[in-house]
Structure 1
Amino acid sequence: MSVNKPSNIDEYISGFPVDVQTVLEEIRSIITDTIPEAEESISYGMPTYILDGKTLIHFAAHKKHIGLYPVPTDGTFEKEFLSYKTTGRGTIQFPFGKPIPKDLIAEIAAFRAEKIRK
């Protein structure tokens, strides 16, 4: 069976159950509200935001969580990340069944945008 890769974020989101779609749309809104000039794209099969020609942030739904990539690994958000699973490669996981940390996602997006703009 072949799986069609989404060509845009709407297609990506529509491929999930309604409850997951709601969470994905919420994350999408947080990013677009925080960095409205970022361009939407699909990269590596995931919703991706591009700023000034560089990857700002990706997000993706998985079986038990939503992943957000890349996130700072330099300790900038060390305290905020304590409640979530992270990897040293710049990933944070937001488990389904828990509220999405809107402020944290906005802060990460703003932090990444600042790094890109420097």
Structure 2
Amino acid sequence: MILKRIHHIAIICSNYKVSKKFYTEVLGLTIINEHYRKERNSFKLDLSLNGEYVIELFSFTNPPKRLTRPESTGLRHLAFEVDNIEKVILNLRKKGIEIEPVRIDEFTNKKFTFFSDPDDLPIELYEI
């Protein structure tokens, strides 16, 4: 078996309208497809970053909350690569997003920080 790359990451949100706005207007991801699945009372939103399919956003009725942050079983966080972390932080703060202090990766000496999506999913910015 030879894996080529990650195809997408699926995220379940508690408020579809709020999360759709966050991922498209705050993070700037582009909508590829949007479907309402009547039988599940659920939306499915396919999002891309720079033309590459990356996130599948789902809504479900009353999904359970994340148990702990960030160290819980399963997906720990979602990380985005950036060229200039300070510039991205400034842009996110202008949109009302709270950002943790920038840290330095002890192994790579690269800058990184975290913020959260509307459901408290940790999102990392990692400067390349």
- Sort the TM-score into its range (normalised by shorter chain): 0.3 to 0.5
Work out which of the two has the higher radius of gyration on C-alpha atoms and give 1 or 2.
2
TM-score by length of 1: 0.37
TM-score by length of 2: 0.35
